[in-house]
Amino acid sequence: MGFISDLSEEDALLRARINDACELCEMRSCPRFVGFLDEHRQAVARAVLHEKGTSHFLLYGGYEGAERTILGVFPSFLPPDSDLFPLKAIGFRYRSVARLSHRDFLGALLSVGIKRDKLGDIVCGEGLTVVFANEELAPFLAESVDKVGSEGVHAVFPFTGEVAVCREFREYQDTVASPRLDAVLGVALRVSRQEAVRRIVSGTVSCNHMPCEAVAHVVGEGDILSVRGEGRFLIASLGPLTKKGRLIIKLHKYI
């Protein structure tokens, strides 16, 4: 993805932090880390590093497929290694009937004075939630959080078990005239093409976590469309053509 010149103030600050990390990595010949980053800021980071011609980096959040990750920039002689990342996992066990949510845990963690950028993914399951956090703060969180909402929780630190991730989505299939963003978005939202164009030019649509206001942008399989107020859609497959020359499209809407 190409670099976007009109970055927001917050994204421009991230670019400066990444530039500093690259300079310190080269100067001190040791890895430097930035994050946690959400998916949009990961896209910004990739664009910044692509612009700099830097490919010796890794985005890692504690397990494969993590949504919030740390950016690690590595010197040329050192292969990027996930074991070097400054993060730890904390397991919180509780009664499975409690069914605590991501929001419940995030509120409890922030209430003890932790900033969001020091926290990675919060993976909730039945009776077990795994939290990824900055390694310096993880012991404090394990000791400080013993209740989430009205439910008592027991911390397991460090947590070394498997992380069971279950992302739910609704799948549906349709046909689309072309792989242009306005056509695909119209199918995803079940709205007219004119309404899809309005959404795009209003700045409420992102493609692969970067804002996209180009109605003729061509999307492909594996792309993720985010629409403010509507959620996220994965383009699971695009094609083949029907007899009438329309593309068969399969979409996953995350729920």
For 34-43, 46-55, 72-81, 161-170, which range has the lowest pLDDT when averaged over its residues?
A: 161-170
> Which residues neighbour 12 within 8 Å (Cβ) at sequence distance 6 or greater?
none
Which structure tokens are listed for 75? 């010197």
Q: Give the pLDDT score at 65.
A: 87
Q: Give the pLDDT score at 9.
A: 86
What is the fold of 169-254?
3.10.290
Q: Give the pLDDT score at 199.
A: 95
Q: Give the pLDDT score at 162.
A: 86
Mean pLDDT computed over every residue of the chain: 92
Which of 168, 177, 209 lies closest to 196 in space, CA to CA?
177
Q: Give the pLDDT score at 8.
A: 81
CATH of domain 9-84: 3.30.1370.160
Q: Give the pLDDT score at 2.
A: 43
What would the mean pLDDT of 166-176 be, rounded to a whole number?
Answer: 87
C-alpha neighbours within 13 Å on the C-beta side of residue 176: 30
Q: Give the pLDDT score at 163.
A: 87
Residue 102 has pLDDT above 70, yes or no: yes
Q: How many CB atoms lie within 10 A of CB 236?
A: 15
The span from the CA of 87 to the CA of 132, in Å, is: 7
Which of 86-108 are b and which e, b meaning 16 or more Cβ less than 10 Å from the residue's Cβ? ebbbbbbebeeebebeeebbbeb
Residue 1 has pLDDT above 50, yes or no: no
Which structure tokens are listed for 130? 């795994």
What is the fold of 87-156?
Alpha-Beta Plaits (3.30.70)
Q: What DSSP character marks residue 113?
A: T
Q: What percent of the chain has pLDDT over 70?
A: 97
Q: How confident is the model at residue 14 (pLDDT cuts 50, 70, 90)?
A: very high
Q: Where are the domains of the chain?
A: 9-84, 87-156, 169-254
Higher pLDDT, 1 or 235: 235
> Which residues neighbour 10 within 8 Å (Cβ) at sequence distance 6 or greater?
none
Residue 81 has pLDDT above 60, yes or no: yes
Q: What percent of the chain has pLDDT over 90?
A: 85
Q: Give the pLDDT score at 80.
A: 96
What would the mean pLDDT of 218-240 be, rounded to a whole number?
Answer: 93
User: What's the pLDDT tens digit per position in 199-226?
Assistant: 999 999 999 988 899 999 999 999 999 9
What would the mean pLDDT of 6-21 be, rounded to a whole number?
Answer: 89
The span from the CA of 233 to the CA of 196, in Å, is: 14
Judge whether 45 and 37 are in contact, CB under 8 Å. Answer: yes
User: What's the pLDDT tens digit per position in 22-49?
Assistant: 999 999 999 999 999 999 999 999 999 9
Residue 145 has pLDDT above 90, yes or no: yes
Q: Give the pLDDT score at 223.
A: 93
Query: Residue written as tokens 């950016």?
Result: 71
